[in-house]
Chains A and B, each alone.
Chain A
Amino acid sequence: MARRRKTLAPKGRDDDVRWIAGFALGSILTVIMILVVIIAPPATIGPSEGELAPDFSADSYSGANWINFKLSDTFDYEWNEGEQGEWILIQFIDTDCPYCWSEGETMSDLHAQWSNDVEFITIAVELSINGHDSNQQEIEAFRDKTNYGTNDNDGSGCNSGRDNCANRPGAAHNWNYVEATSAMMKDWEVTGTPFLAILQPDGYVAWNQYENTGESIEDAMQRIVGGT
């Protein structure tokens, strides 16, 4: 009687080829990393001094209407240290924050002195505090010093709802007020308001308030921007 031979299923290789695949992949990734570093190394992005400021794109009020505003559109990428250029002052506020309320006057004074050399940008956030609800009308009123709310500490208006926005200290501001998105405070590592930072014309952070607690914004502007 003829014996039937059982058909054997194909057997895999003795060595584990996953190691070979892993090494091949490691080589590919190494080449990719080297190429990226040579052609376009990633920038260090963050709010600390020497880092490229975190970019954002958000609604902005310039006095007439709300339009999209992209921070990096204000950067002069060709700028070199020592050259003339327009510096950027970033201010984070909450229209209901009492310190931001009084800093309105400081900002007016700074703008009167440095508006030729510095672009002012105010970013309005809404802190997660009771009574700090905000909206675009309140931001407009805070910026323009127009009638919004009452002086009766009834929750409507600016300064934790204690004041009509028209009574904000300082003159009306005529620079861009940006309505913050939730990611912006995180990207800028802002833990409270007001917060100020000075950017070089090419967008790198030159001065961060948190890193210079002993220096006022006026002194920082004089030291870094100077010229007036």
Chain B
Amino acid sequence: MNEALTDPVLLSFITGLLISTYIMLIGKGKNTTKLLISSLAFAGVGIISSTYTYIIHNKMVVQGTTAFCSSEGIVQCGSVIGDPTWNNLFGIPWGVFGIISFAALIFLSLSLYLDRHAKWAENFLNYSWWAALGGLPFVALLVVIELTQVEDAPHICPFCTVAHLSLIGYVLAIYYLKENKNSGNWSEQR
């Protein structure tokens, strides 16, 4: 098995994604609180994995290599995060974009979790939905880049993929939250 896939840090991220997914599935259609927790969990995994990719990026730039991620094989991040042409947008590393984006999503979800009946709650739910949807084209772009554009493509950067899956999970959680809102299940007791 590719050594990158047995990385303990990666396995803990995958565990985080699985737990978030489980909470989302048991909350789907009935429990708004669990769905809000699930959205927070997805965004939490997203911000931590983005931070991790940013740390790898800085290590690659300054040291040329890092023990934090493999640079061999198809599943690796050295050739993706270490590619000077594609590892940034307008000079800003993708990890920083991830941190900022997931921070915004955490703010929205946490506000909803703390007071889902506030006057602004419906707006915040819509902001979460549109903000998360707006991130999906960037996820698609980054997947295309790692599969076709980076040196010796295709490659799959596992920690980047965790961040991508976190966003997709977040979109699903918010979708189910909107369903709850529309079907009158918004106010269930915690």
**A binding-site residues for B, Cβ under 8 Å:** 9-13, 16-18, 20-22, 24-25, 28-29, 32, 35-36, 39-43, 45, 52, 54-58, 68, 70-72, 75, 77, 181, 183, 187
Contact = CB atoms under 8 A, between A and B. Distances in A.
Given A17-B118, A35-B51, A40 B84 contact: no
A18 B120 contact: yes
Given A17-B114, A21-B114, A70 B151 contact: yes
B84 to A, nearest CB: 4
Nearest to A9: B117
Contact of A28 (B58, B63, B103, B187): B103
Nearest to B87: A55
B96 to A, nearest CB: 9
A57 B84 contact: yes
Q: How large is the interface on B (under 10, 10 to 19, 20 to 34, 35 or more residues)?
A: 20 to 34
Contacts of B142: none
5 contacts: A10-B117, A21-B114, A57-B84, A72-B84, A75-B64
A12 B117 contact: yes
A40 B55 contact: yes
A43 to B, nearest CB: 5
A57 to B, nearest CB: 5
Interface stretch (B1-9, B105-113, B132-140, B159-167): B105-113
B121 interface: yes
B58 A29 contact: no
Interface in B76-116: 82-85, 91, 99, 103, 106-107, 110-111, 114-115
Interface of B: 47, 51, 54-56, 58-59, 61-65, 82-85, 91, 99, 103, 106-107, 110-111, 114-115, 117-121, 151, 187
A12 B103 contact: no
Given A12-B121, A13-B115, A32-B51, A25 B107 contact: yes
A36 B120 CA distance: 34
A45 B58 contact: no
B94 to A, nearest CB: 14
Contacts of A32: 47, 51, 99
A16 B119 CA distance: 10
A131 to B, nearest CB: 29
A17 B84 contact: no
Contacts of A36: 51, 54-55, 58
Given A12-B119, A57-B151, A40 B62 contact: yes
Contact of A18 (B47, B99, B103, B111): B111
A40 B118 CA distance: 41
A221 B54 CA distance: 36
Given A25-B103, A36-B55, 8 more contacts: A13-B118, A18-B111, A22-B107, A25-B107, A29-B103, A35-B51, A52-B61, A72-B84
B85 A25 contact: no
Contacts of B99: 29, 32
A36 B99 CA distance: 12
